Chains A and B, each alone.
Chain A
Amino acid sequence: MRAPSSASAGPVPDTAAARTVSATKTYGSDSTAVTALGGVDVEFASGRFTAIMGPSGSGKSTLMHCVAGLDTLTSGQVYIGDVELNSLSEKELTKLRRDRIGFVFQAFNLIPTLSASENITLPIDLAGGDTDAAWVDKVVDTVGLRDRLDHRPAELSGGQQQRVAVARALASQPEIVFADEPTGNLDSSTSAEILSFMSGAVEELGQTIVMVTHDPVSASYAQRVLFLADGQIVDEMHDPTSERVLDRMKRFGDKD
């Protein structure tokens, strides 16, 4: 196993947007128990774009859901900033997701009855807060959707829909954005568009993004890649390129 290259890593920030302490998640009981996460310690640095990779069933989605407050750990802790999620009530968790976290899923990201712009401001509207119009404008312009704002999701292409989803995730200026295979359903050029937009958000707007992906090319947009296998972090790579990621991934296949 090659030591993760850290030489070319960018400035390492001193604060973590989110982190876990021996995060464990098991499904089922005793005999049939499946360990999805086996004591994971991980930090997601603020203002960075992190990709999570690993074979199917390795626990990527589980990790992401737990960190994002969509699911609870069997044991261990998750922190968003300084807040420990286990200590939060359902209501507080909802508020946390709404105000401090953004989401992009693989598909079905949008509410079909709302227009693109309503979808984008949905978390802000749910909070009943005032929209930071200048910021939303900036996000919309960056995603390049200005002429599509009044359209319903059904009137948008898959790529456009994902862009709206990303815009929504950014619009409320969350501390951290989680994306589970956001380009999994898209062709490569559309994927590239979305991904460069996401990395742009990190570099220009200082956003923190954690993205689960299967695709080495997608992963290469990130600044750091975590490799997960059997519910453990087994490797890490900074400033990845698609070739290096592919190499690393191949070795999972060899092992199986």
Chain B
Amino acid sequence: MRKVTLRSIWEHKRRLVSTVLAIVLGVAFMSGTFVFADTIDKVFDDLFSDVNEQVDVQVQGETLFDGGFGGGDARQELDIEIVDTVAGVDGIERAVPFVQTLGFGATNRVLGPDGEVLGSSQGPPTLLESWIDDEVLNPYNLAEGEAPRSDDELTLNVGAADDAGIEIGDTVTVLSQFGEADYTVVGTFLFGEAESAAGSVSVDFTLAEAQRIAGLDGKTQVVLAAGDGSVADEVLSDRVEAALPTGAEAITGAEAAEQTAASVQEGFSFFRQLLTIFGAIALLVGTFIISNTFSILVAQRTRELALLRAIGATRRQVLSSVMLEASVIGVVAAVFGLLGGIALAIAVTAGLSASGADLPTSGLVISSTTVIVAFVIGLGVTLLASLLPAVQATRVPPLAALREVAVDRSGASRPRIVAGILILTLGAWNLSAAWRNGDSDSIPVVGLGAMALIVGAIVVGPVLAEPTVRVLGGWIPKLKGVTGRLATENAARSPKRTSATASALLIGVALIGFITIFGESAQVSVANEVERGFTGDLIVQGDQGFGPPAGFPPTVADDIDGVDGVDGVTRVGFTMGQLGYDDGDTATDFVFALDPESAAEAFSPRMSEGAITDLSPGGIVVDVGVADNHDLVIGDAVTITGTGGQTQDLRVDAISDDFTLLGNFTISFDTYGEIVAEQQLVQAIVVVENGADIATVEADLEAVVDGLPSVNVLDREEFIGDLASQITSFLTLVNALLLLSIVIAMIGIANTLSLSIHERTRELGLLRAVGMSRSQLRSAVRWEAVIISLLGTLVGLGLGLLTSWALVKSLGSFGLSTFSIPVGSLAVVMVAAAVLGVVASIRPARRAAKLDILDAIATD
């Protein structure tokens, strides 16, 4: 029996190549993500365990809230006296304070002698640190020169100095929250042997200067301590912990290394999750294809299986023969998938380096987990997919050996119709929650509904495939005569097969359709909202991307104010903050700071209650969505905790209804100054004097921000375009990743066609004998593919349309005011689907056309 199986695999090897490919791609994507993530993880693990090698205990403020976006936790600040407390603990030999500020956007960046910014804005960070005056605890070794002694001196790492051509004695400019300041370079240092810490720009100041830059005068972020070696780190850390005041905690050096590495790694976790999700979608699509392929193979082997049964093979033997075949395919797929994944990880790493985010290459990490996952997924998905066909195979009665091999033409079984309708109804009802409730709370229900609709469509697919194909293909015979007629009939002849093939495509297209339509609606909505509520003439802002927006020092706004023709400047400050409500809930969110007087000139936000000018020191404006969730009315109290660690009680001054312009929370600059250590603006909105030429003022402003990295001057139109392009670039990324599942679906179409053609060999031979030309035959196969892909695409787009409509409805309170269908883009998707079908049909069509007529007629 096993011999029969293995021989059958070998005989079908060509067909199986494409089957395997579907799974290989999915596994490659998944394992590639793993390899990439593990490699990145190792880079940072190594790095930070080196940094902390001499540190036995680290003291830090307690976590206030998780800052999100890989920025690490927001922690309590520590009074500098705590250093003495730590030093006094029994077993501690030395303890030093350490302050570090992360460069981001236009804040805390270093400009070389030529005014160019050091380091990239995407890759490894710029770190402004206090130089540790302790040989043992300092992770750096001076290469040349000396340590900073006065507040206008700094040292920096050799790599950064060399890259920017900085020599000792040069003057460099540091851009901090207090504006620009000049420093003399007095030394360069190595990081162990390395010229940089993973490509970072490390710049070290005196403790006092580092504290000033960080807004931490008289305070520190952490205390680094080394023991005298008398006790283990864990014991030491417990002792220190016991001596600490509330608000501070002690961890071992090893834990500190892990913590730092984890927070950096978290920055990649979004990327990682995204890739994993798309890998999973690809595998789901692949499952359909494998299952379909096996079904067809089993159907084609009906006679062979029946013969086996007739000569005494048991059902179990038949089942295990099919499953064995699946296992072999699964293992092959896993091996090639893993290899593909490794190649992918190499490519991504290379791509990242090329785009400026150079990672120290310390070799790829292929963990045993990756290998196990690849095999579990490759094998698991294949076995799962082949289970149903295998069971079908056992149902083949021995008598079938004597019958004509029949193609499975069934489709509309009663349970299938009932189940399909039930699931579809459930989906539609859930989706309609968007209209019944119409707020963001219904999003999970809507999501569930969308999923149910997709599942329902796939379940009823075989029932509806035939009539739909006839409608879709109805116009082709008019164009293509009998060739088109044959194509339509062939697509309709096996509804289960056609629908399974189209379903694989449907999943990807539904997601792409959803993303595209939703994105268009978001763009149009944002543009409308800004057009309505934004009354400034020009805007200076940091680059926006994932995570918090890039900021710039508040001093820049003062420079802007001094430009000729500028009537007023509205500063928009930004921080991550944690909000606390009376009902005990807390939430971490973006918090914006405004000066209410000048704000009224730049914005006319839609308000639910009160006005933006009602915002006063100690007050907050909250979005109506938040207010509803927490039963807030004007005059109620909320608390806010800033990254600086201070918690303040605030009074609700007004309730806004303009998420696009104001976000969820807006506070005054007075409050902002009190809750953050480091102030940064994300926008400065400029109103131009009456009669002044906007273009001239724009040019002058550009001169002001010329030296600032990631800061741009935009007019109204550009600003709206910029918001739209942020959405577009995100959508493009997502759609690009979804392409993988489309490619897999295309393989599925090609696969099904190849198998069907094999099945129709005799028929094709006959057609050729009675005078069908090769090109006519190719055209028939091609149109069959086009019909199948149009079927998947149309249903997919329909589902995408419904889902995005429901989501837009639910997100009304987030500024999604307009549902807009990008007809052009959807037309492109349709045409692309047709082209895809054509591409998928190339190989099967060519094979069909090449059939030797006599062989085909002689086939039985």
A94, B482: Cβ atoms under 8 Å?
A: no
A126, B769: Cβ atoms under 8 Å?
A: no
8 cross-chain CB contacts under 8 A: A65-B854, A91-B773, A108-B762, A108-B766, A113-B490, A114-B489, A125-B482, A126-B772
- Docked pose: A238 CA to B493 CA in angstroms: 47
Q: Is B339 an interface residue (CB 8 A)?
A: no
B481, A98: Cβ atoms under 8 Å?
A: no
Measured between C-beta atoms, what is the minimum distance from B584 to chain A in Å?
A: 68
| List of A residues within 8 angstroms of B483 by Cβ | 126
A94, B762: Cβ atoms under 8 Å?
A: no
B766, A112: Cβ atoms under 8 Å?
A: no
Neighbour of B766 across the interface among A94, A98, A99, A109, CB < 8 A: A109
Which positions 239-253 of chain A face chain B at CB distance < 8 Å? Answer: none
Which positions 142-167 of chain A face chain B at CB distance < 8 Å? Answer: none
- Docked pose: A138 CA to B773 CA in angstroms: 28
A112, B854: Cβ atoms under 8 Å?
A: no
Q: Is B527 an interface residue (CB 8 A)?
A: no
Measured between C-beta atoms, what is the minimum distance from A113 to chain B in Å?
A: 3
Question: Residue on A with the closest CB to B859?
Answer: A108
Neighbour of A97 across the interface among B485, B489, B490, B769, CB < 8 A: B769
Question: Residue on B with the closest CB to A98?
Answer: B771
B763, A111: Cβ atoms under 8 Å?
A: yes
Contact with A along B40-71 (1 / 0, CB 8 A): 00000000000000000000000000000000
| New A-B pairs, 8, CB < 8 Å, besides A111-B763, A113-B492, A122-B482 | A91-B774, A99-B771, A105-B857, A108-B766, A112-B493, A126-B481, A126-B483, A126-B771
Q: Is A71 an interface residue (CB 8 A)?
A: yes
Measured between C-beta atoms, what is the minimum distance from B72 to chain A in Å?
A: 65
B854, A122: Cβ atoms under 8 Å?
A: no
| List of B residues within 8 angstroms of A97 by Cβ | 769-771
| List of A residues within 8 angstroms of B496 by Cβ | none
Q: A111-B767, A122-B482 are in contact. Are A95 and B773 (CB under 8 A)?
A: yes
B854, A70: Cβ atoms under 8 Å?
A: yes
| List of B residues within 8 angstroms of A127 by Cβ | 771
| List of B residues within 8 angstroms of A123 by Cβ | 770-771
Interface footprint category on A? 20 to 34
Q: Is A103 an interface residue (CB 8 A)?
A: yes
Neighbour of A126 across the interface among B489, B763, B776, CB < 8 A: B776
Neighbour of A114 across the interface among B486, B492, B771, B774, CB < 8 A: B486
Which positions 65-115 of chain A face chain B at CB distance < 8 Å? Answer: 65, 70-71, 90-91, 94-95, 97-99, 101-103, 105, 108-114
A128, B481: Cβ atoms under 8 Å?
A: yes
Q: Is A43 an interface residue (CB 8 A)?
A: no
Q: Is B497 an interface residue (CB 8 A)?
A: no
| List of B residues within 8 angstroms of A99 by Cβ | 771
Q: Is B109 an interface residue (CB 8 A)?
A: no
Q: Is the interface of B mostly helix, strand, loop or mixed?
A: helix
B486, A111: Cβ atoms under 8 Å?
A: yes
- Docked pose: A27 CA to B482 CA in angstroms: 36
Question: Residue on B with the closest CB to A90?
Answer: B774
Contact with A along B477-509 (1 / 0, CB 8 A): 000011101100110110000000000000000
B486, A113: Cβ atoms under 8 Å?
A: yes
| List of B residues within 8 angstroms of A98 by Cβ | 770-773
Q: Is A118 an interface residue (CB 8 A)?
A: yes
| List of A residues within 8 angstroms of B771 by Cβ | 94-95, 97-99, 101, 123, 126-127
B485, A114: Cβ atoms under 8 Å?
A: yes
| List of A residues within 8 angstroms of B490 by Cβ | 113
- Docked pose: A71 CA to B854 CA in angstroms: 7
| List of A residues within 8 angstroms of B485 by Cβ | 114, 118, 125
Measured between C-beta atoms, what is the minimum distance from B199 to chain A in Å?
A: 62
B773, A94: Cβ atoms under 8 Å?
A: yes
Q: Is A168 an interface residue (CB 8 A)?
A: yes
Question: Residue on A with the closest CB to B776?
Answer: A126
Measured between C-beta atoms, what is the minimum distance from B59 to chain A in Å?
A: 79
Q: Is B768 an interface residue (CB 8 A)?
A: yes
Q: Count how many pairs of residues, one from A and one from B, have CB atoms less than 8 Å apart in the complex.
A: 72
- Docked pose: A101 CA to B768 CA in angstroms: 12
Q: Is B16 an interface residue (CB 8 A)?
A: no
Question: Residue on A with the closest CB to B493?
Answer: A113
Neighbour of A111 across the interface among B766, B853, B854, CB < 8 A: B766
A122, B770: Cβ atoms under 8 Å?
A: yes
Chain B residues within 8 Å of A, Cβ to Cβ: 481-483, 485-486, 489-490, 492-493, 762-763, 766-774, 776, 853-854, 857
Neighbour of B489 across the interface among A70, A95, A113, CB < 8 A: A113
B763, B769, B770, most chain A CB atoms within 10 A: B770
Q: A94-B773, A94-B774, A111-B486 are in contact. Are A70 and B767 (CB under 8 A)?
A: no
Measured between C-beta atoms, what is the minimum distance from B494 to chain A in Å?
A: 10
Question: Residue on B with the closest CB to A121?
Answer: B482
Q: A105-B857, A113-B493, A125-B481 are in contact. Are A70 and B769 (CB under 8 A)?
A: yes
- Docked pose: A17 CA to B772 CA in angstroms: 22
| List of B residues within 8 angstroms of A109 by Cβ | 766
| List of B residues within 8 angstroms of A70 by Cβ | 769, 853-854, 857
Question: Residue on B with the closest CB to A168?
Answer: B770
Q: A123-B771, A126-B771, A126-B776 are in contact. Are A118 and B766 (CB under 8 A)?
A: no
A-B CB proximity, top 9 nearest: A98-B771, A113-B489, A125-B482, A94-B773, A97-B771, A123-B771, A123-B770, A108-B762, A126-B772
| List of A residues within 8 angstroms of B854 by Cβ | 65, 70-71
A105, B763: Cβ atoms under 8 Å?
A: no
Measured between C-beta atoms, what is the minimum distance from B454 to chain A in Å?
A: 30
- Docked pose: A168 CA to B771 CA in angstroms: 12
| List of B residues within 8 angstroms of A111 by Cβ | 486, 763, 766-767
- Docked pose: A99 CA to B65 CA in angstroms: 83
- Docked pose: A69 CA to B831 CA in angstroms: 40
B486, A94: Cβ atoms under 8 Å?
A: no
Measured between C-beta atoms, what is the minimum distance from A157 to chain B in Å?
A: 14
Question: Residue on B with the closest CB to A128?
Answer: B481
B481, A112: Cβ atoms under 8 Å?
A: no
- Docked pose: A102 CA to B486 CA in angstroms: 20
- Docked pose: A118 CA to B481 CA in angstroms: 11
| List of B residues within 8 angstroms of A168 by Cβ | 770
- Docked pose: A112 CA to B767 CA in angstroms: 11
Neighbour of B770 across the interface among A90, A103, A113, CB < 8 A: A103
| List of A residues within 8 angstroms of B769 by Cβ | 70, 97, 103, 105
Measured between C-beta atoms, what is the minimum distance from A56 to chain B in Å?
A: 15
Measured between C-beta atoms, what is the minimum distance from B497 to chain A in Å?
A: 14
Q: A105-B857, A126-B482 are in contact. Are A94 and B768 (CB under 8 A)?
A: yes
- Docked pose: A83 CA to B214 CA in angstroms: 95
Neighbour of B482 across the interface among A91, A101, A105, A118, CB < 8 A: A118
Measured between C-beta atoms, what is the minimum distance from B483 to chain A in Å?
A: 8
| List of B residues within 8 angstroms of A102 by Cβ | 770
| List of A residues within 8 angstroms of B768 by Cβ | 94
- Docked pose: A109 CA to B770 CA in angstroms: 10
- Docked pose: A34 CA to B482 CA in angstroms: 40
Question: Residue on B with the closest CB to A99?
Answer: B771
- Docked pose: A94 CA to B762 CA in angstroms: 17
| List of B residues within 8 angstroms of A125 by Cβ | 481-482, 485
| List of B residues within 8 angstroms of A91 by Cβ | 773-774
Measured between C-beta atoms, what is the minimum distance from A26 to chain B in Å?
A: 15
| List of A residues within 8 angstroms of B776 by Cβ | 126
Measured between C-beta atoms, what is the minimum distance from B610 to chain A in Å?
A: 71
Measured between C-beta atoms, what is the minimum distance from B766 to chain A in Å?
A: 7
Q: A105-B857, A111-B486, A113-B486 are in contact. Are A126 and B774 (CB under 8 A)?
A: no
- Docked pose: A175 CA to B768 CA in angstroms: 18
- Docked pose: A123 CA to B482 CA in angstroms: 9
- Docked pose: A48 CA to B795 CA in angstroms: 57
| List of A residues within 8 angstroms of B857 by Cβ | 70, 105, 108
